[in-house]
Structure 1
Amino acid sequence: MSSHPTRDDDAVRADAAPAPRRGLRRAADLALASHPGPTVVVTAFSLAMAAGAGASAPVTALVGAAILSGQLSIGWSNDWVDAGRDAAVGRTDKPVGTGRLPVSTVRAAALAAAAACVLLSLALGWRAGLVHLATVASAWAYNLRLKSTVWSWAPYAFSFGFLPMAIALALPGAPVAAWWAVGAGALLGIGAHGANVVPDLQDDRATGVRGLPHRVGGTVTSIGSALALLSATLLVVLAPAGPPSAAAAAVLVAAVGLTIAGTVLALSGGRSRLPFAFAMAVAAVDVVLLVLSDWVR
């Protein structure tokens, strides 16, 4: 019997491919390891909020670059730290866990993105830079340790909650985000955490991850996530001065529908990522409301 570890067929075929094809495959796997869905969505939300608040094109672009680099570092660090766990449970959607992408490559990418994030964030101004770097550090803390504790929800609440503050502080005059924008962001983060974790509860338990959702169970987590998402939308609709507009009421109805659909899917069991997609859709609805409201003070 060979003493060498076995590798999956995809990895063997990748090694046998011509160099240009291997390069393309490596780039595709690196993109997949960055958690492209959340990375693109959070970056797009941030660009919309900066532009909607009146930021100039250069400032908006710099906000997008800083947020993107931070999100890439978070996604890559997650797959770097979880490589062993992903391999143990056979996650075929994880290039590092299957051996298609070396751990050293994704670790180097995470650290490079983090270094770029420091420079780009501070280029927004020291206030905005420090707040944004705190949100990124919070997400890294989740990857490194907090995901396995009862405080697993806290980094999501902190990072989502203070992202509007970082964007606001990057604007001319360094204004601040309204309290309800920060509160809504925190609630969205809590809801997103639950929706993201529920499909992986069984695998996480098998590899020793014991965050809050693992302790309270999938049903409680799904219901709690739905309440957090709805509370975030209610805050964005009702907290701004003046009566809600017809458009805001319509958006609220849409958010309720998306939340109910996502919750039903989550409670039905299985490993579908649709509940998390619905959570991101609710976040998109709330960002639209934020852009249309006076969320900067």
Structure 2
Amino acid sequence: MAATVTARRRTQGRVSSLFPVLLVRAAHPRLGMVSALGLTGAAALSGRTTREVALVLATVLVGQAILGWHNDLVDRRRDHADERADKPVALGLLDPGDLAFALACAVLVVVPLSIAHGLWAGTAYLATIALGMLGNLLLRHTWLSWWSWAAAFALYPAFLAYGGWAGEGRSAPPEILVTVLAGALGVCVHVLVALPGLVLDNEAGRRHLALRVGLRIGAPRLLWLMLVLTGLVLAGLLAAGAQVGLRQ
């Protein structure tokens, strides 16, 4: 029995050290999957065809991988100092040069995928990626950390509203209410994502929005507050979608 368990652990260790597995780990897969499935579900609810829904899923999965890889490259020294066990680059398991090459390849893939939705929709989605990378580089550890999340999420309705197969038949802009609620959801997601790292961020002297609020009201209260606010915003988005729709 002990020999079987040892062999199983060795097999798991070999699998987890494979290059594709390390790439997935560095892509922040949980956040990426939630984002991709959320936008795919919104596309389906808005009446998009099956091939358009599949295109949304593929585009967002690649875009989220880009943001995850870029985040790990930018933060590799901080992650190493923080002894982050979930960061393959910081652990030395994944070479930064290899990850940078994968990121460059993904950019070459996401551009045509985005433009396949139509010029306006593709530009909106590529702008969300640019905003996310700007946040990784400049804003993540400042009190403006929420800004790139809010702006990127506020562009998602435009991505869906203008999108179609090559942009066919999609000319109306998104509803303002839906855009505002999507931006608010971005702020909520930002705080929820930041919550697990509050202790490390505080010890390192970082002062992003989530940490500033957490220091004032405490992390448990902040968690419950954001869960309630996120639920309310999601309910508002569903209500707005049912009442006014995605497009003006």
TM more than 0.5: yes
Q: How many percent identity over aligned positions?
A: 31
3-state SS, counterpart of residue 174 of structure 2: coil
Match of 1:193 among 190, 195, 207: 190
Distance in 1 (CA, whole Å) between partners of 2:136 and 2:246 is 30
3-state SS, counterpart of residue 189 of structure 1: helix
Report the alpha carbon displacement of residue 22 of structure 1 after superposing the two structures with TM.
7.2
Correspondence for 2:211? 214
Report the alpha carbon displacement of residue 237 of structure 1 after superposing the two structures with TM.
5.3
Amino acid at match of 1:225: M
Q: What is the total number of aligned residue pairs between the two structures?
A: 229
Q: TM-score, normalised by structure 1?
A: 0.69
- Tell me, yes or no, if the aligned pair for 2:16 and 2:22 is still in contact at 8 Å: no
Correspondence for 1:282? none
Question: Given the alignment of the two structures, is residue 229 of structure 1 paired with residue 222 of structure 2, yes or no?
Answer: no
Distance in 2 (CA, whole Å) between partners of 1:223 and 1:186 is 20
Q: Cα distance 1:98–1:23, how it changes in 2: closer, same or farther (>3 A)?
A: closer
Question: Given the alignment of the two structures, is residue 82 of structure 1 paired with residue 75 of structure 2, yes or no?
Answer: yes
Q: Cα distance 1:53–1:97, how it changes in 2: closer, same or farther (>3 A)?
A: same
Amino acid at match of 2:94: L
- Tell me, yes or no, if the aligned pair for 1:180 and 1:235 is still in contact at 8 Å: no
Deviations 1:135-170 (A, max 9, x none): 111111111111022110011111122212201111
Correspondence for 1:127? 120
Match of 2:26 among 23, 26, 33: 33
Match of 1:203 among 191, 200, 205: 200
- Tell me, yes or no, if the aligned pair for 1:149 and 1:212 is still in contact at 8 Å: yes
- Tell me, yes or no, if the aligned pair for 1:183 and 1:232 is still in contact at 8 Å: no
Amino acid at match of 1:201: L
- Tell me, yes or no, if the aligned pair for 1:79 and 1:106 is still in contact at 8 Å: no
Correspondence for 1:11? none
Q: Cα distance 1:95–1:23, how it changes in 2: closer, same or farther (>3 A)?
A: closer
Match of 2:173 among 155, 162, 176: 176
Structure 1, unaligned runs of 5 or more: 1-16, 243-292
Match of 1:115 among 108, 117, 139: 108
Question: Given the alignment of the two structures, is residue 294 of structure 1 paired with residue 238 of structure 2, yes or no?
Answer: no
Deviations 1:121-143 (A, max 9, x none): 11211100111111111111111
Amino acid at match of 1:235: G
Distance in 2 (CA, whole Å) between partners of 1:36 and 1:233 is 22
Q: Cα distance 1:226–1:58, how it changes in 2: closer, same or farther (>3 A)?
A: closer
Structure 2, unaligned runs of 5 or more: 1-9
Distance in 1 (CA, whole Å) between partners of 2:202 and 2:104 is 28
- Tell me, yes or no, if the aligned pair for 1:190 and 1:225 is still in contact at 8 Å: no
TM alignment of 1:1-297, pairs within 5 A: 25-171=18-164, 172-174=168-170, 175-218=172-215, 219=218, 221-222=222-223, 225-226=226-227, 228-236=229-237, 239=240, 294-297=245-248
